[in-house]
Amino acid sequence: MVTKLKEQNGSLLQDDPVEKTKSLISALNYVSRDLLLPFHLYDSVSSIYHGSLSDASPPPPEKILTPYGGDLMSEFEDALSKQRQNYESASRLTELEEIRRISHIQHRLSQLEGLPSTRGQELQEKCLFELYDLKLRELQRKVRAEVSSEYWLRLNCARPDSQLYDWGMMRLPRPLYGVGDPFAMEANDHFRNKRDAERLLRLQEEEKNLIETTQRKFFAEVLNAVREFQLQIQVSQRRRKQRNDSVQAWHGRQRQRATRAEKLRIMALKSDDQEAYMKLAKESKDEKLTLFLEETNNILVSLGAVAQRQKDAKLSEGINILKGSDSDLSEVDSPEDVHPDQDIEIIESDNNDDSNDLLKGQRQYNLAIHSIQEKVTKQPSLFQGGELRSYQLEGLQWMVSLYNNDYNGILADEMGLGKTIQTIALIAYLLENKNVPGPHLIVAPKAVLPNWENEFATWAPSIVAFLYDGSKEKRNEIKARIAEEGKFNVLMTHYDFILKDKGFLRKIDWNYIIVDEGHRLKNHECALARTLVTVYRIKRRLLLTGTPIQNSLQELWSLLNFLLPQIFNSVQNFEEWFNSPFAERGNASLTDEEELLIINRLHMVIRPFLLRRKKKEVEKFLPGKTQVVLKCDMSAWQKLYYKQVTDVGRVGLHTGNGRSKSLQTLSMQLRKCCNHPYLFVGGDYDMWKKPEIVRASGKFELLDRLLPKLKRAGHRILLFSQMTRLIDLLEIYLTLNDYKYLRLDGTTKTDQRGILLKQFNEPDSPYFMFLLSTRAGGLGLNLQTADTVIIFDSDWNPQMDQQAEDRAHRIGQKKEVRVFVLVSIGSIEEVILERAKQKMGIDAKVIQAGLFNTTSMVKSQDRREMLEEIMSKGTSSLGTDVPSEREINRLAARTDDEFWMFEQMDEERRQKENYRTRLMEDKEVPEWAFTSQTQEDESKTSKCHFGSVTGKRKRKEAVYSDSLSELQWMEAMESEEEDGSK
* 886-915 pLDDT, tens digit each: 777 887 787 888 888 888 888 888 877 775
* 527-568 pLDDT, tens digit each: 777 777 777 888 888 888 776 654 566 677 777 777 777 767
Instruction: State the average pLDDT over residues 795-821.
Output: 77
Answer yes or no: CATH 3.40.50.10810 is held by domain 284-340+358-618.
Answer: yes
Q: Which of 142-151, 264-273, 640-649 has the highest mean pLDDT?
A: 142-151
In the predicted model, what is the mean pLDDT of the chain?
Answer: 71
Of 915 and 459, the structure prediction assigns the larger pLDDT to: 459
Torsion of CA 226, 227, 233, 235, to 10 degrees: -160
Q: Determine if residue 780 is left, alpha or beta; phi over 0 gives left, psi from -120 to 50 gives alpha, anything else beta.
A: left
Q: Is the pLDDT of residue 419 over 70?
A: yes
Which pLDDT does position 636 carry in this prediction? 82
Phi, then psi, of 206 in degrees rounded to 5: -65, -40
Q: Grade residue 573 by pLDDT with cuts at 50, 70 and 90.
A: low
* 691-723 pLDDT, tens digit each: 778 888 888 888 888 888 888 888 888 888 888
Question: Looking at domain 625-950, what is its CATH homologous superfamily?
Answer: P-loop containing nucleotide triphosphate hydrolases (3.40.50.300)
Q: Grade residue 942 by pLDDT with cuts at 50, 70 and 90.
A: very low
Other Cβ atoms closer than 10 A to 617: 11
Which pLDDT does position 530 carry in this prediction? 77
The Cα-based distances of 89 to 29, 96, 183, 550, 925 in angstroms read 10, 10, 15, 127, 115
Instruction: State the average pLDDT over residues 426-452.
Output: 83
Which pLDDT does position 324 carry in this prediction? 37
Q: Is the pLDDT of residue 511 over 90?
A: no
HSE-CB at 817 with a 13 A cutoff on CA atoms is 26
Specify the pTM: 0.52
Query: Are 393 and 386 in contact, with CB atoms under 8 Å apart?
Result: no
Instruction: State the average pLDDT over residues 826-849.
Output: 62
Q: Grade residue 363 by pLDDT with cuts at 50, 70 and 90.
A: low
Of 505 and 319, the structure prediction assigns the larger pLDDT to: 505
Least confident residue range of 23-27, 33-37, 95-99, 652-656 = 652-656
Phi, then psi, of 822 in degrees rounded to 5: -90, 130
Q: Is the pLDDT of residue 964 over 70?
A: no
Q: Is the pLDDT of residue 969 over 70?
A: no
Which pLDDT does position 767 carry in this prediction? 87
Which pLDDT does position 956 carry in this prediction? 43
Which pLDDT does position 152 carry in this prediction? 78
Q: List Cβ neighbours of 742 (8 Å cut-off, separation of 6 or more).
A: 756, 759, 760, 767, 769, 770, 771
Torsion of CA 680, 681, 686, 687, to 10 degrees: 0
Of 726 and 922, the structure prediction assigns the larger pLDDT to: 726
Instruction: State the average pLDDT over residues 748-775.
Output: 81
How far apart, in whole angstroms, are the C-alpha atoms of residue 388 and residue 202? 120
Query: What residue type is assigned to position 549 of the chain?
Result: I
Instruction: Please choose, from the candidates 871, 820, 467, the residue with its C-alpha nearest in 3D space to the C-alpha of residue 666.
Output: 871
Query: Cα Rg for the chain, rounded, in angstroms?
Result: 59
Across the strands, what pairs with 721? 773
| Chain Cα centroid distance, residue 536 | 54
Q: Which of 23-37, 47-61, 181-195, 232-246 has the highest mean pLDDT?
A: 232-246
How far apart, in whole angstroms, are the C-alpha atoms of residue 944 and residue 871? 16
Query: Are 787 and 816 in contact, with CB atoms under 8 Å apart?
Result: yes
* 852-883 pLDDT, tens digit each: 333 333 344 555 555 555 445 544 444 456 67
For residue 159, give the H/E element and its range. none
In the 8-state DSSP scheme, what is residue 338? -
Q: Do domains 284-340+358-618 and 625-950 have the same CATH topology?
A: yes
Q: Is the pLDDT of residue 326 over 50?
A: no
Q: Which of 185-194, 360-369, 389-398, 849-858 has the highest mean pLDDT?
A: 389-398
* 306-322 pLDDT, tens digit each: 666 666 665 554 444 33
Which pLDDT does position 864 carry in this prediction? 54
Q: Is the pLDDT of residue 54 over 50?
A: no
Q: Is the pLDDT of residue 398 over 70?
A: yes
Query: What residue type is assigned to position 32 of the chain?
Result: S
- Is the sign of the CA dihedral 551, 553, 559, 561 positive or negative? negative
Of 6 and 649, the structure prediction assigns the larger pLDDT to: 649
Which pLDDT does position 219 carry in this prediction? 92
Of 924 and 542, the structure prediction assigns the larger pLDDT to: 542
Q: Is the pLDDT of residue 351 over 50?
A: no
The domain ranges of the chain are 2-86, 90-114+123-164, 284-340+358-618, 625-950
Which pLDDT does position 814 carry in this prediction? 76
Which pLDDT does position 922 carry in this prediction? 72
Q: Grade residue 331 by pLDDT with cuts at 50, 70 and 90.
A: very low
- First vs last Cα of the chain: how many Å apart? 185
Which pLDDT does position 668 carry in this prediction? 80
